[in-house]
Amino acid sequence: MPIPIIAQVFDQGLSSLPAGWTLAKAVPFFAVLYLLKWYFNGATNASERNMHGKVVMITGGTSGIGAEVTKGLALRGAQILLLTQQPLTDPFFVDHIEDLRTQTGNELITAEHVDLTDLHSIRLFATKWVDNAPPRRLDMIVLCANTRTPPGGKATMTEDGLEDTWALNYMANFHLLSILSPAIRAQPPDRDVRIIFGTCSSYMGGQLPDFSGGSLATGKSKNSKKDGKSSEQIAFTPSGVYATSKLALMAFAIAFQKHLSAYARPDKKPMNTRVIIVDPGWTRTPGMRRFLTFGSLWGLAMYLFMWPFWWLVLKSADQGAQTFLYAAMEAQYGRGEGGMFLKECRQVKFLRPEIEDEQVQKKLWGISEETIQALEKESAKRRANEKKKPENGKANAEGKPKAKEANGAAKQRKAK
């Protein structure tokens, strides 16, 4: 069929075909559109690995890129443990898990309730995991949980007193891995263990604070003093705190690899855990949509109006997950020293020297530990006070009838 048509075009010209010139104009347009979409979609993972029997812990695995990473690993047979702030009895969440099991044909998908904005919730889960004897199997941790305040938004604080973006993007990951460290180091030497951190190219605009004093949780200026000590805090801007949280996370990731590598195993075998940092690129996720719409209805209307443009230049969540899947399955990353930075399914260099600066890593680690320790003490006091309130109320309620009886008895004696 195409040959006679081509022959007709050469013999009689393009105008001999119905709508011939219209097609001739449309084909280059759609070809350019296809090439642009292919370019913006980025690289696709071509590596495969047998994931059957491997236990994968995932944060942020119920939406966006994390959901696609969860689905991709589950399809390959991995046992998935989702850390979610959703109540495990929530019927919508139960349906989500059941649908995921059905879609992937994998029944080994479970969840644990962990509120990553609550340091106590993280500790409850992580200590329970570490205290298990013998050590539970853990082949991979994928850290996809992420949040960002829309442009122009105001800072929101967690119950622990941390800014929300900083708490979830950095402090939660630091706290979780710090406690899980013994369980990670206890994995058998023949096991390929990987810890995958999700980051963003905005890390290049981050600015780490001066660690000479103060706490990462306080909101004091550098010139303010309390108990004779000065402290410093970076002025809040949504883009600034997000970029700084990603920069700090990447510096911690490299420090954590050094922390693991420095451990002397009882069996004298080399450390078998590798840290990998992944930049998935700009992706159409709920977080990106919230960022582009400024968290407003008029912004959502503009987003819908510009949808063809966003469809063209932003990856789908599935395409954004490709580098995560590559980091999880590429064989070469199961060897070596770890600390790789991947983008578009290939290794790239860090563009900020602070990430590999050992002094910055030590200071960041130290002040993060101090901050968490101080906040957990305050949280423990707060929970103790809240526990006392019902007990005091019950004691007062029981005391009132006794007081009334005593007053009644005293009146009767006086009457006699």
Task: Kindly tell me if the per-residue pLDDT of 414 is higher than 80.
Answer: no
pLDDT for 9 beyond 80: no
Is the four-CA dihedral 212, 217, 222, 224 of positive or negative sign?
negative
Across the range 135-161, mean pLDDT stands at 92
Within 10 Å of residue 221's Cβ, how many Cβ atoms?
13
Amino acid at 215: S
Question: 135: domain range?
Answer: 55-280+315-372
Cα–Cα distance for residue pair 367/333, rounded to 1 Å: 31
Mean pLDDT of 140-165: 92
In a domain, 309, yes or no: no
For residue 183, pLDDT beyond 50 = yes
On average, the pLDDT of the chain sits at: 86
Cα distance between residue 1 and residue 3, in whole Å? 6
Helix (H) / strand (E) element for 120: namely helix 119-130
* pLDDT computed for residue 28 by the predictor: 82
Q: Which residue intervals of 186-285 are DSSP H helices?
A: 238-261
Residues 6 and 62 in one domain: no
CATH of the domain at 256: 3.40.50.720
Same domain, 30 and 127: no
Residue 222 has pLDDT above 70, yes or no: no
Give yes or no for residue 218 having a pLDDT over 60: no
Residues 6+ apart with CB under 8 A from 332: none
Strands (E), 320-395: 340-343, 346-347
**Do 326 and 366 belong together in one domain?**
yes
Per-residue pLDDT band for 27 (boundaries 50, 70, 90) equals confident
The answer as to whether 365 is a domain residue is: yes
What is the C-alpha to C-alpha distance for residues 343 and 345, in angstroms, rounded to an integer? 5
Residue 411: predicted pLDDT: 52
Q: Does residue 294 lie within any of the structural domains?
A: no
The per-residue pLDDT for range 281-331, each reduced to its tens digit, is 999 999 999 999 998 899 999 999 999 999 999 999 999 999 999 999 999
Q: Does the residue 406 lie in any domain?
A: no
Q: How confident is the model at residue 342 (pLDDT cuts 50, 70, 90)?
A: very high
Q: Which helix (H) or strand (E) holds 300?
A: helix 297-305
Residue 199 in domain: yes
pTM: 0.85
Q: What confidence score (pLDDT) does residue 407 get?
A: 58
Domain-located, residue 205? yes
Beta-carbon count within 10 A of 118 CB: 18
Residues 133 and 213 both lie in one domain: yes
At 155 the pLDDT is: 87
149 in Cβ contact with 242 (< 8 Å): yes
The region, left, alpha or beta by phi > 0 then psi within -120 to 50, assigned to residue 280 is: alpha
Residue found by looking up tokens 């708490």 in the block: 167
Do the Cβ atoms of 250 and 350 come closer than 8 Å?
A: yes
* Known catalytic membership, residue 225: no
Up-side HSE of residue 209: CA atoms within 13 Å toward CB?
A: 25
Q: What is the mean pLDDT of residues 156-161?
A: 91
Based on the fold, state whether residues 177 and 215 are members of the same structural domain. Answer: yes
In a domain, 402, yes or no: no
Domain assignment present for 74 = yes
Confidence of residue 392 (pLDDT cuts 50, 70, 90): low
Q: How far apart are CA 105 and CA 74, in angstroms?
A: 8
Which tokens in the block code for residue 404? 């009334």
Of 61-75, 143-157, 241-255, 398-412, the range with the lowest mean pLDDT is 398-412
**In the numeric block, which tokens belong to residue 93?**
């969440």
Mean pLDDT along residues 93-110: 95
CA 322 – CA 17 distance, rounded (Å): 43
Q: Confidence band (pLDDT; 50, 70, 90) for 56? A: very high
- DSSP H or E segment with residue 323: helix 322-329
Number of domains in the chain: 2
Query: Is the domain of 22 the same as that of 157?
Result: no
Is the same domain home to 176 and 323? yes
Interval 206-231 mean pLDDT: 54
Q: Are 394 and 241 in contact (CB under 8 A)?
A: no
Structure token pair of residue 73 = 């690993």
Q: Which residue has the higher pLDDT, 122 or 132?
A: 122
- Residues 239 and 328 grouped into a single domain: yes
Same domain, 107 and 142: yes
When pLDDT is cut at 50, 70 and 90, the band that residue 227 belongs to is very low
Q: CA 153, CA 329: separation in Å to the nearest integer?
A: 38
Of the listed ranges 82-91, 155-164, 301-310, 386-395, the one predicted with least confidence: 386-395
Q: Answer whether residue 133 shows pLDDT above 70.
A: yes
Active-site residue (options: 54, 71, 246, 315)? 246
Question: Do 63 and 212 sit in the same domain of this protein?
Answer: yes
197 and 222 belong to one structural domain: yes
Average pLDDT over residues 25-34: 82
Q: Do 234 and 194 share a domain, yes or no? A: yes
